[in-house]
Amino acid sequence: MKKRGTILVENIIFIILNLLFLSILVLFLVKQGSGAVLLEQSYAKQIALLIDSGEPGMTLKINMEKAKKLSEKNGINFEEVVKIDENLVTIKLSEGSGYSYSFFNDVEVAPPYTDGEFYILNIDKKWQIK
Amino acid sequence: MADKIISVYWFAILIIVAGGIIAMVNIFYNSPYDVREIEAEILTNKVGDCFSDLGYLESGIFDGQGFLINENNFLEKCKLNFNTPEGDLQYYVQVNLFQAGDLENSFFEVLQGNKNLKADCFISGEYEKLSKCVEKGFFTLDKSGNLYLIKILSVIDKSEKNVK
């Protein structure tokens, strides 16, 4: 009887350790896939390509739900996540990080603003604002 | 005793598998997204729109007598900005026009950007570090009804931002 009990305890410890190991692995994978560095790059490139495809007079409404959640978690104001300086899009989702990507479309992009989890970008001709 | 030996081996296997997964994930997520091909497609379409509107040569490009576009005013006419933080030119665009009767010899050509990038388009094989090239052609008419073929080659380098 005593031996049987030992085997059961060993098995339970073995299973718990296995589950712990797998959980850590899954957490690592989830964390890697939703990291600030990856999202910053993805958003910066997507926004730059959208602006490249855009025409003056267009309004772009971009769903940035993931960015909002992550920026708030990292203590960054969502209003300051997207910055457009001349032809450079910069995304910042955490302190000490940030990613920039340039676009070739020679348009004036009005300062972006937020509407809930969306970012609104207005594309204008260069001379209209200057 | 045998069980303990098996569990030691089992954990060794788990560590090896986990190590492999972590290495693969790191390699995957540390490689930047390569968007140059899409970017080159967009650039080609943009230049196409600049040269032709609704199937006719743009009046700002061709006035019926001659071409109003050249290397000096190409960026301004096509509303492009090739400045990048990387410094040296990351783009190259080449536009060739052919008359419908002679699709071999281009009668008008305009080039813009870093001419050195064009060589990358002729290297065969999948080399990630090379610039991405997109070439498209389409027919268009002038106001007198003459038919032209416009060929646009767009090349984008930006390897620092798109390739590890």
Query: Given pLDDT bands bounded at 50, 70 and 90, which one contains residue A128?
Result: very low
Strands (E) across chain A are located at 59-63, 82-85, 88-91, 99-102, 108-109, 113-115, 118-124
Average pLDDT over residues B123-151: 89
Nearest-angstrom CA–CA distance, B23 and B38:
29
The reply to whether B50 touches chain A by the CB within 8 Å rule is no
The single residue listed with the structure tokens 């972590």 is B22
Cross-chain Cβ contact A106/B43 below 8 Å: no
Nearest-angstrom CA–CA distance, B50 and B43:
10
Cross-chain Cβ contact B83/A87 below 8 Å: yes
Residues forming beta bridges with residue A84, ordered by sequence position: A89
In this prediction, residue B129 carries a pLDDT of 82
Q: How many CB pairs under 8 A join A and B?
A: 65
Q: What residues in B contact A52, CB-CB < 8 Å? A: 39, 42-43, 46
Q: Is the pLDDT of residue A129 over 50?
A: no
Query: Given pLDDT bands bounded at 50, 70 and 90, which one contains residue B10?
Result: confident
Q: Which one of B26, B33, B43 has the shortest CB-CB distance to A41?
A: B33
ipTM for the predicted complex: 0.84
Average pLDDT over residues A109-130: 85
Query: Given pLDDT bands bounded at 50, 70 and 90, which one contains residue A72?
Result: very high
In this prediction, residue B39 carries a pLDDT of 96
